[in-house]
């Protein structure tokens, strides 16, 4: 009999939550883009994560309140976590509700007093202790003010870079997902007609043809001396112009000398310039007084995603800070 009553009560709760669920079109997971609350009652569902995944699920909602008391009533089933209310301007905590999963439904509430009209943020952060989803239903009363229906603004997304696409991917429990090899790009086959390039003839200049010496001329003999080599078969006459041409280096030898000189100039060590980012520092100051400083030449990337400040350093070290604990982030 008790089992039957428990089953009926669970069925009634699920049916009630399912009837109210369409009132909220989406559940935002970004603190900067919370889901507006347009009625006095909302409901949500938190799905179970993979086995071994200890992460919590966070949803953010926005509403307003006038001067006076705001009543918040929470009915939860199979949910373990916290429900917090913050001031939207300074993220000042106003109320905190801690819920532990039980066999049945859990009902609790809080009263918040406002001195003036303010915009508030409701955060639901927790998980389900088993493989069944968690259900939440929250009612508001008193000086609660629902927001007017508006077009949902989606949080901006960053397209993955080529480096992220080739990085090692893991699932929620840390198992490495094998990378899918990309097909090689198609290569275009272009037939080109190769024409042989004329090669330089580095052989020595041919010796002048053997012929009889021309008739002697007194004027030429006085100005240009000639060297005569006698042979048994013929005589060869060598002038000073032919001697200079024989001593002149070939074109290939001159190009080799120029190439070696250029290599000598480029091989000279260049002076290493100082890194200008070494004098600039990233300073993260926490609300508890702790301050973290890192030179910018060691910082690869820092960003804020879903309320978490992530700092990635060279060497693969990753540090995360909750945006609720950060007082200021400066670059000096």
What is the token pair recorded at 91?
């993220």
Residues 177, 153: Cα–Cα separation, whole Å: 32
Q: pLDDT tens digits for 321-330?
A: 888 888 888 8
Phi, psi of 129 (to 5 degrees): -80, -5
Entry pTM: 0.44
pLDDT band at 227 (very low <50, low <70, confident <90, very high): low
Q: Which residue do the tokens 């696409």 mark?
A: 165
Mean pLDDT computed over 306-317: 85
> How many CB atoms are located within 10 Å of the residue 144 CB?
20
Is the Cβ–Cβ distance between 36 and 70 less than 8 Å?
Answer: no
Is the Cβ–Cβ distance between 281 and 322 less than 8 Å?
Answer: no
The mean pLDDT value of the chain amounts to 76
Residues 311, 304: Cα–Cα separation, whole Å: 9
pLDDT band at 4 (very low <50, low <70, confident <90, very high): very low
pLDDT band at 54 (very low <50, low <70, confident <90, very high): confident
Q: pLDDT tens digits for 14-34?
A: 444 443 334 445 788 998 999
Higher model confidence: residue 243 or residue 330? 330
**What confidence score (pLDDT) does residue 57 get?**
93
Higher model confidence: residue 270 or residue 293? 293
> How many CB atoms are located within 10 Å of the residue 78 CB?
23
Among 296, 35, 256, which Cα is nearest to 147's?
35
Helices (H), 1-122: 2-20
What is the token pair recorded at 137?
């239903």
């Amino acid at each position: 009999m008790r089992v039957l009553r428990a089953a009926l009560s669970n069925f009634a709760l699920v049916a009630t939550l399912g009837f109210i669920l369409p009132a909220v079109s989406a559940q935002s997971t970004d603190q900067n883009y919370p889901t507006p609350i347009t009625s006095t009652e909302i409901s949500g569902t938190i799905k179970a994560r993979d086995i071994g995944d200890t992460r919590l699920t966070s949803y953010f909602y926005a509403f307003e309140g006038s001067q006076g008391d705001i009543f918040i009533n929470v009915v939860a089933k199979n949910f373990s976590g916290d429900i917090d209310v913050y001031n939207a301007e300074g993220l000042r905590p106003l109320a905190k509700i801690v819920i532990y999963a039980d066999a049945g439904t859990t009902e609790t509430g809080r009263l918040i007093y406002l001195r003036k009209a303010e915009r508030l943020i409701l955060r639901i952060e927790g998980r389900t202790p088993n493989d069944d989803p968690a259900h939440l239903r929250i009612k508001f009363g008193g000086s609660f003010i629902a927001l007017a229906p508006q077009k949902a603004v989606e949080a901006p997304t960053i397209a993955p870079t080529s480096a992220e696409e080739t990085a090692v991917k893991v699932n929620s429990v840390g198992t490495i997902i094998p990378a899918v090899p990309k097909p090689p790009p198609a290569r275009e086959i272009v037939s080109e007609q190769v024409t042989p390039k004329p090669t330089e003839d580095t052989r020595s200049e041919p010796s002048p043809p053997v012929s009889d010496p021309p008739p002697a001329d007194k004027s030429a003999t006085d100005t240009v001396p000639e060297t005569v080599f006698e042979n048994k078969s013929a005589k060869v006459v060598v002038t000073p112009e032919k001697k200079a041409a024989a001593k002149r280096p070939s074109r290939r030898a001159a190009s080799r000398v120029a190439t070696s000189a250029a290599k000598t100039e480029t091989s000279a060590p260049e002076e290493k310039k100082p890194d200008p980012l070494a004098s600039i520092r990233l300073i993260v100051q926490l609300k508890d007084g702790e301050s973290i400083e890192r030179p910018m030449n060691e910082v690869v990337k820092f960003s804020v995603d879903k309320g978490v400040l992530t700092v990635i350093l060279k060497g693969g070290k990753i540090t995360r800070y909750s945006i609720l604990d950060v007082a200021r982030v400066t670059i000096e």
